[in-house]
Amino acid sequence: MSGDVPANNYGNIVKPGRMGILGLPLGISLLGVPLVLIVVLMLTRNLYVPALTVVGIAIFAFALVSIRRPSDGRNFYERRALLMAHRRSVKRGDNLYIAGPTGRTPDGKTRLPGLLAPSELTSHLDSFGNPFGLIRLQSARHYTVVLETYPDGDSLVDQQRINSMIDHWGAYLADTGVSEGIIGVSVTVETSPDSGLRLRRMTQNNKHAGGSEFSHAVIDDIPSSFRSDSPAITTRLAITFSGKGVDTKGSDRGLSVMADEIGNRLPVLIGNLFDTGAGTSVRACTAQDIVDFTRTAYDPTVAAQIEQARAEGGTGLDWVDAGPTFAAREVDHYFHDRAVSKTWHMFEGPRGQFGPKVLKPLLSPTPGVLRKRVTILYRPIPAGEAASVVEADINNASFAGSTKRRPSARQQQRLAYAKKAAQEEEQGAGLVRFGIVITATCAATTEFPRLDKIIPSLSNRARLRIRPALGNQDVAFQAGLPLGLVLAEHTLLPDQVRDWI
């Protein structure tokens, strides 16, 4: 019977990186080669004291690299670099954003700050004639479409069906690595207090004029009775396409070409989500939908007004009105309009196996928070590169285990995972880089000492290790929005170089 089907276990998650000697990154280990040559040259010339001095300094420097604080996984240099970069930005005034008629924007608009400042939002029709909004980031040649889903959840769903939904979601992600042009996928689950406007409209619209006074009293009492502390949960999925052409320069293919291509592919992308647990009412967000939920993210205090305006015909807001009037980035939090947010990001995933419901506590509503977003960022590895990636991981795990006479259980497990990943990739499985961003938006910073204990404890149940996004809270805040921001595409160093260091 279906009730006897056990829950599947999942795992085989490996942190990207090239391991060197003594567990250091390969790039750091290679820096020690010229140091060894210098020490040997000193010893050949009988410069023993200077050689010992160099060795002592090197040991101290490498110790600062290898010793990482358990709470955030950062070493001394990483923490200092983040703090120094933030202080320099504060001195230049780059941490402040003031928009509007009296702000610094030339046209007096409240555009999105940071990486999304040059973005454009246009409206188009798919191959079935349904409207969808398309976010264009011309500088990176990225085009993003946002889907709103209505998941069924796992209540009253047997385990066999849950296993099937997870398998279909894995196949969906694997297909993004095969599909041409998809460079990023993000899933955002947002929880917030329900305003009660939808329930009130539903009850009032269904009230019969000829009903009794008692029935009218019951209907009028329902919104106030059932709205108390009830959460509103929304789930959105952003798919980002690359607009680079096939020429050597990778020039932008253009808005019209990409809109036609995405519009033709959109019905298939939506239809393939039905068996993943996303529900059967998946739809593409219109341009107005994207503007409205983005404005609400930057100023949650207007959520009820925006919801009311949408019910009465629309807000009339444009993309240039979706950003904040004021924003200030601090070291570990981010002020924006009449709210303040703090963002954490994952720095280490589950080391062992985990079940299908480990993220449920983290996705559940948290009291005292205006809005909480949990965003899982996926970057599919193209099928043509997957084979070389798994082979490199096998070589890396083998080298890390060979540096010791007796490899640790963790190193043996990593080698076994790498070999299993190679076997699954050969059978058609896809490879995906992923990360998790958690954003909590509150009315004041006084809530953060409590959340600094609650949020990590919820992630510990999911066997995740998270840390605050020090010095880049504004960027992490935007990464947690379902707007298709692929952070790796905006860094100066490619993945191969970052894996070495």
Q: At what angle do helices 287-298 and 303-311 cross, to 10 degrees?
A: 160
Report the amino acid identity of residue 20: G
For 354, phi then psi, to 5°, come to -145, 160
- Residue 496 burial (C-beta neighbours within 10 Å; 0-12, 13-18, 19+): exposed
3-state DSSP assignment of residue 132: strand
Give the closest residue to 231 by CA, choosing from 188, 190, 197, 192.
192
Which pLDDT value is given to residue 398? 75
From CA 360, how far away is CA 381, in angstroms rounded? 27
Which pLDDT value is given to residue 420? 79
pLDDT along the chain (501 residues), means of 10: 72 72 66 80 85 86 80 85 91 92 86 94 95 94 96 84 91 86 95 76 72 76 66 93 80 92 95 91 96 96 90 90 95 95 92 84 90 95 78 74 67 76 75 92 94 90 88 95 92 69 62
Which pLDDT value is given to residue 2? 47
Bridge partners for 236 per DSSP: 148, 188
DSSP assignment letter at 116 = G
CA angle 452, 454, 456 (to 5 degrees): 70
